Amino acid sequence: MSIVTARRISQIFFFLLFLWFCIVATLGEQWWQLRGWPVNWLIQLDPLVGLGTLLATGTLYAGLLWGLLTVIVTILLGRFFCGWLCPFGALHQAVGWLANRGRKASMMIAANRYRRGQGVKYALLVFLLAAAAGDLIGRLLRVSIDSPAKAAGIVAVMLVLIAGAARAAKRSVKRWTAGIVMAAIGVAALSLLTDGSRLLAASLQTGLLDPIPLFYRTVNLTLLPLVDGRLISISAASRLYPGVFAMGALFWAAVFLNLAVPRFYCRFVCPLGALFGLLGKNALWRVGQKADGCTACGACDRYCEGGCEPATVLRSPECVLCMNCLAACRHDVMGFHQHASAAGEISVPDISRREFVATLAAGAAAVPLARLAGMTGEAWNPAVIRPPGSLAEGEFLQRCIKCGQCMRICPTNVIHPAGLQAGIEGIWTPVLNFRMGTSGCQQGCIACGNLCPTAAIRPIALDERLGKGTFQSRGPIRTGTAFVDRGRCLPWAMDRPCIVCQENCPVSPKAIFTREEYRPIRLGGDIRLQGITGNRLLIEGPVLPSDQLATGDYFVAIDGRRNIPPARIADIGSSGITLADNPFSGAAEKGDRVTLLVRLQQPYVDPSRCIGCGVCEHECPVKGRRAIRVTAENETRERRHRLLL
């Protein structure tokens, strides 16, 4: 079996595995449902997820340790993940192959030549990791300056460091180190002059471009909902995700750019590929030419997936180990050796020190800039309701990779990707939208936290969610609080009986309660009493809407008989109004004015009971902008948002 065949089988295997993981990510115990399928395995194997969260939080969460395996193999062999494992790469390779069919060799060789732009992905990687590393830098630099002696000490250390760095820079040794030291000194100096608390912040944005979360997200949110239907029913109800257009557009742009340059995304954009390029610098075995025998026919360049130019000086950080050059070479010159390519090799990623420092600084500076919007503090958006178990906003943004697994698994389809409501950093992070979906957030469900690969939504137990057992003292997890919009609510604003929110409130005792009020209804004119027979009131006046009034919510009062409580209308007939029970016998006279009342049960929310599940909002019959809506007030995850003591 040739190595190229093995690679193809591997790519197909992992691509199908990926698709399978996407399909089975639906709650249930059938073999085609979630069961125990390790649907996050490919995300966990992606070391950029692990590295990003490690930089942002200082911890490597459970399954992300799988990324270490990938890292080790990459250090030893190079970018095997790109050529053999990555399902997104496999897709690009397939599309690129389709696009190249029938093209001349010269065209293909031209398309596969190395371009300076391939260095962009390293810049993107540095930018994204620097954005995630703000807190880490802060922790490293964190010294409390509370005495002049300490300040003097720090200044002295800094002077020594500056002198050392200047000397190092002068001797051009370890230039990068010098640059980093200089930057650190700059930050430290700024910290000394300012509070420092705002200069550094961490935000994990690798997920925007990291191919594995990107592919998961796109398939979960923009592709599966399209094919979900009659033949294969993947989810209980067909899915909607407002605002995924940009998400899909990014995906299709990445796919169609393969027509211009094969594996465009992998070569120019992919920050994960860039990470592998850096890691594989010292790979023990590498693709390259033997010392002699090359006729410079260019056949190896023709099918090169990485655009690393094996025919001439090989750019080893670009090589994705597709092994096509081995198969294509008629002279058996190409091989996988311990030594560098005989025609020369550049094993350093194509990013200059200047670019490196600039993107590093830009990444570290971008997050504090974004934080000036105050979305994680004072200017928090109450419309951002995070799934139950989510961490406080700052920590949440240090973990969420926008992979969309929570949105995919949510049985009621209430978890949606955010647009800009959670700030520029929060784009495509999960928020609850109770206007959509099949119901609110289900009390007995803990799916999102158990699917989250990075614990941005914690894997809570049912007891913790419900506030039972050992969690009794903490109470149930609240995602927000429902507020009645009295200007839109039917019984509050429009004199129409409705207790849908109260009836549907799933917590016990109910968080929504009602208070009764009787209000006169509008009629075309006065109603006068003509006589009473048994339970019937004979009346004179405008024609009454009998269907509406006989529903049990309408009552009769007779003016001037204030001590008699209103009597319920049982029926409206040609002969008058039939009451369920007639308290007026002998107490009213002919000619008395009759008032028809509607009994309204006006809803109130008890904030100490409400968990913000949104079932009321979902069920509210005012369908456009609901008359009862949940906002994030009193959510458990942010103590600062609490409403009650």
Reported as half-sphere exposure (CB side, CA atoms, 13 A), residue 13 has a value of 9
DSSP state of 601: E
Q: Which two tokens stand for residue 466?
A: 């419900």
Asked whether the beta carbons of 592 and 549 are under 8 A apart, the reply is no
Among 49, 188, 466, 605, indicate the residue that binds other proteins (CB under 8 A): 466
Identity of the residue, 228 or 395, whose beta carbon is nearer to other proteins in the bound complex: 395
Reported as half-sphere exposure (CB side, CA atoms, 13 A), residue 449 has a value of 20
Identity of the residue, 2 or 167, whose beta carbon is nearer to other proteins in the bound complex: 2
Among 203, 218, 222, 324, indicate the residue that binds other proteins (CB under 8 A): 324
- 537 - beta bridge partners? 532, 577
The span of 127-135, 281-289, 366-374, 517-525 binding other proteins (CB under 8 A) equals 281-289
SS3 91: helix
Minimum distance from residue 568 beta carbon to other proteins (Å): 9
Among 257, 407, 447, 569, indicate the residue that binds other proteins (CB under 8 A): 447
Q: Which two tokens stand for residue 503?
A: 């009836």
547 binds other proteins (CB under 8 A): no
619 binds other proteins (CB under 8 A): no
Amino acid identity of residue 566, one-letter, is P
Binders of other proteins in range 91-130 (CB under 8 A): 97
Binders of other proteins in range 552-571 (CB under 8 A): 552
Identity of the residue, 438 or 578, whose beta carbon is nearer to other proteins in the bound complex: 578
Identity of the residue, 350 or 633, whose beta carbon is nearer to other proteins in the bound complex: 633
Please provide the DSSP assignment of 431-460 as one string. Answer: EE-TTSSSSS--TT--HHHHH-TTSSB---
Among 15, 18, 61, 264, indicate the residue that binds other proteins (CB under 8 A): 61
**593-605/512-520 β-pairing:** antiparallel
Distance CA 24, CA 18 (A): 10
Among 312, 421, 575, 595, indicate the residue that binds other proteins (CB under 8 A): 575
DSSP H or E stretch at residue 519: strand 512-520
Minimum distance from residue 2 beta carbon to other proteins (Å): 4
Polymer length in residues for the chain: 645
Binders of other proteins in range 143-182 (CB under 8 A): 146
Binders of other proteins in range 382-411 (CB under 8 A): 389, 391-392, 395, 409
DSSP H or E stretch at residue 56: helix 47-57
Minimum distance from residue 530 beta carbon to other proteins (Å): 10
Binders of other proteins in range 246-275 (CB under 8 A): none
Pseudo-torsion of CA 266, 269, 271, 272, nearest 10°? Answer: -10
- 512 - beta bridge partners? 605
Q: Which two tokens stand for residue 210?
A: 């990291």
Pseudo-torsion of CA 452, 457, 461, 467, nearest 10°? Answer: -160
Asked whether the beta carbons of 225 and 241 are under 8 A apart, the reply is yes
The span of 120-128, 262-270, 365-373, 450-458 binding other proteins (CB under 8 A) equals 450-458
Binders of other proteins in range 327-366 (CB under 8 A): 327-330, 332, 338-340
Q: State the distance between the two ends of the chain, measured CA to CA, in whole angstroms.
A: 70
Among 206, 316, 341, 582, indicate the residue that binds other proteins (CB under 8 A): 582
Among 585, 589, 590, 608, indicate the residue that binds other proteins (CB under 8 A): 585
Asked whether the beta carbons of 558 and 540 are under 8 A apart, the reply is no
Among 124, 400, 532, 615, indicate the residue that binds other proteins (CB under 8 A): 532
> Which of 633, 638, 637, 640 lies closest to 608 in space, CA to CA?
633
515 binds other proteins (CB under 8 A): no
Minimum distance from residue 117 beta carbon to other proteins (Å): 25
Identity of the residue, 360 or 445, whose beta carbon is nearer to other proteins in the bound complex: 445
Identity of the residue, 296 or 645, whose beta carbon is nearer to other proteins in the bound complex: 645
DSSP state of 529: E
Q: Which residues contact 144 (CB under 8 A, 6 or more apart)?
A: 150
Identity of the residue, 251 or 478, whose beta carbon is nearer to other proteins in the bound complex: 478
Asked whether the beta carbons of 82 and 266 are under 8 A apart, the reply is yes
59 binds other proteins (CB under 8 A): yes
318 binds other proteins (CB under 8 A): no
Identity of the residue, 379 or 462, whose beta carbon is nearer to other proteins in the bound complex: 462
The span of 70-78, 118-126, 363-371, 539-547 binding other proteins (CB under 8 A) equals 70-78
Packing angle between helix 353-371 and helix 120-132, nearest 10 degrees? 40
501 binds other proteins (CB under 8 A): no
Minimum distance from residue 245 beta carbon to other proteins (Å): 29
Among 95, 455, 511, 615, indicate the residue that binds other proteins (CB under 8 A): 455
Identity of the residue, 251 or 276, whose beta carbon is nearer to other proteins in the bound complex: 276
Q: Which residues of 389-425 are buried (b: 16+ CB within 10 A; e: fewer)?
A: bbbbbbbbbbbbbbbbbbbbbbbbbbbbbbeeebbeb
516 binds other proteins (CB under 8 A): no
76 binds other proteins (CB under 8 A): yes
The span of 25-33, 118-126, 230-238, 252-260 binding other proteins (CB under 8 A) equals 25-33
